[in-house]
Amino acid sequence: MKFIVALILSALLSYAACLFLPWWSIAIAAFIVAFFVAQKPGRAFISAFMGLFILWGLMSYFISSHNGHILANKISMLILKSNRPMGLIILTAFIGGLVAAVAALSGSLLRKIFIK
């Protein structure tokens, strides 16, 4: 249950933070969620990863499909050197997930110092 709560909370808080703050505020969001929602560090890592992977993955997928993947085709040519819009969406999701995951790991580890 906590896993799902942490996953959803880190996604929601990240989305809200990015309305006002730079993209890397997802790290702060995931860190805060992991600090307050008691989970083992490994689970904190995975829940944050999944939360942001799903959030960024879905957002970029919906944006891209309403655009007929025109932009994704071109940017994937630039970044992935091949025409793979889905590849770009997965890369986006993975980057969001990874940043949130390491931040959540840090949050969880900080919690362990203060709260036994």
Partner 1 sequence: MNLFKGVCIIFTASTAVMKIVSFILSAFISIALVHILNTKTLLPAPLGKLLAPQSGVWQNAENEEEPFSADLQFPNLNGNTTVYFDDRLVPHVFSDNETDAIFVQGYLHARFRLWQMDLQTLSAAGEVSQVVGDVALNHDREFRRLGMVFAAENSLKEMEADAETKKLCDAYTAGVNAYINSLTESTLPLEYKLMGYKPTLWSNLRTALFLKYMSYDLSSNEKDFELAAAHQYFDSTDFNLLYPVKQDSADPIIPVGTVFPAPSIKTIPPPKVDSAYLHGEVTAMEYEKPFEENGSNNWAVSGSKTQSGYPILCNDPHLGLNLPSLWYEMQINTPAYNAYGATFPGAPSIIIGFNDSCAFGFTNGGRDVRDYYEIEFKDSSRKEYWFNNEWKTTTFRIEKIKINGKPDFYDTVAYTIFGPVMYDRSFGGKRHTSSKNYAVRWKAHDASNELKLFYYLNKAHNYTDYVNASTYLHNPGQNIVFASKNGDIALRTQGEWPAKWPGQGDFPMPGTDSSYMWQGMIPQSEVPFQFNPERGFVSSANQRPVPPDYPYYLGREYPSSRGVMVNRLLNAKSQITPKDMMAMQNNNYNVFAEMLLPVIFKNMDVSLLSGNEQTFYNYLQKWDRNNEANSIGATVFALTLSKLKDTLYNDELSKAPEGALKPFESTLMEALLRDSAYKFIDNINTPEKENIHNIITRAFKGACIILTDLKTKNKLEWASFKDTHIDHLTKLPAFSRLHLPIGGGEHIINATKAVHGPSWRMVVSLTPQTEAYGIYPGGQNGNPGSKFYDNGIDKWVKGEYFTLWVMKKNEDKDNRINGKWVFKRG
Pick out residues in 11-40 that bind partner 1 (CB under 8 A).
15, 18-19, 22-24, 26-27, 31, 40
Report the candidate in 66, 70, 33 with the shortest Cα–Cα distance to residue 48: 33
**Residue 111 in tokens:** 């919690």
The residue within the footprint of partner 1, chosen from 11, 29, 33, 46 (CB under 8 A), is 46
86 makes contact with partner 1 (CB under 8 A): no
Report the candidate in 12, 5, 3 with the shortest Cα–Cα distance to residue 40: 3
SS3 106: helix
CB 89 within 8 A of CB 61: yes
Could you tell me how many residues of this chain bind partner 1 (CB under 8 A)?
Answer: 45
How many angstroms separate the CA atoms of 30 and 111, rounded?
13
Q: Which positions touch partner 1 (CB under 8 A)?
A: 15, 18-19, 22-24, 26-27, 31, 40-42, 45-46, 56, 59-60, 63-64, 66-68, 70-72, 74-75, 77-79, 88, 91-92, 95-96, 98-99, 102-103, 105-106, 109-110, 112-113
